[in-house]
Amino acid sequence: MKGEKMVITHKRLVRIASLALVIVLCFSVLAPIASAEGSAYITNYITSMTAGSGGKVTAWFQITGTGTMDEIGVTKVTIYENGTLIKTYLSTSTSGMMGNNTVVHAGSVTYSGTVGKSYYAHVTYKAGKDGGYDNRSVDTNTVTAKN
Given a cut of 60, is residue 147 above it in pLDDT?
Answer: yes
Asked whether the whole model's pTM tops 0.85, one would answer: no
- Distance, in Å, from the CA atom of 3 to the CA atom of 1, rounded to the nearest integer, reads 5
- Average pLDDT in the 61-88 region? 97
Given a cut of 60, is residue 13 above it in pLDDT?
Answer: no
The model's confidence at residue 31, banded by pLDDT at 50, 70 and 90, is very low
138: left (phi over 0), alpha (psi -120 to 50) or beta: beta
Tell me the per-residue pLDDT of 116-127, one tens digit each, with 9 for 90 and over. Answer: 999 999 999 999
Given a cut of 80, is residue 16 above it in pLDDT?
Answer: no
- Average pLDDT in the 81-87 region? 98
CATH number, domain 42-144: 2.60.40
- Distance, in Å, from the CA atom of 124 to the CA atom of 73, rounded to the nearest integer, reads 9
Lowest-confidence region among 23-37, 63-77, 104-118, 127-141: 23-37
Which residue ranges make up each domain of the chain?
1-37, 42-144
Beta strands in 29-94 (DSSP E): 42-51, 56-81, 84-90
Tell me the per-residue pLDDT of 99-114, one tens digit each, with 9 for 90 and over. Answer: 999 999 999 999 999 9
Rounded to 10 degrees, what is the CA torsion of 3, 8, 14, 18? 180
What is the SS3 assignment for 96?
Answer: coil
Considering only residues 15 and 71, tell me which one the structure prediction assigns the higher pLDDT: 71
